[in-house]
Structure 1
């Protein structure tokens, strides 16, 4: 499990994947989101610009990111 400390109101989903080093580039992040590999609060979500906020949970390839 990864606890990601949010410093603002939100972080876009693709930036969160990059910031936690689960993908190498923004392009790779966009691809995995568009292919349905990412779950947001338990549901597959295809929105690349999704605003992830405190309390949200993102699942990706067996890693769980909790935003605190």
Structure 2
């Protein structure tokens, strides 16, 4: 599993797909999620706007498995 560091409270699933090179542009996110199965914390997810927070685990078959690692300095994750 690869750690994916973010410096914001969260990122969206569409942003993650772009960051992991699963897609080449943000406009491809909707298509990708219709064609491929993506799991967030073990559950199927198709919403490109799904918010991903520190500790969330994402599995994209044939791309990889990722864990969100967020900002830690005094931050609180109230989600």
Q: Is TM (by shorter chain) over 0.5?
A: yes
Deviation at 1:35, TM superposition (A): 3.7
Gaps of 5+ in 2: 70-79
SS class of match (1:4): strand
> What TM-score, normalized by structure 2, do the two folds share?
0.75
Gap runs ≥5 in structure 1: none
Q: Alignment RMSD, CA only? A: 1.4
Corresponding residue number in structure 2 for 1:9: 9
Q: TM-score, normalised by structure 1?
A: 0.85
**Equivalent runs, 1:44-55 vs 2, <5 Å:** 44-55=44-55
Match of 1:64 in 2: 65
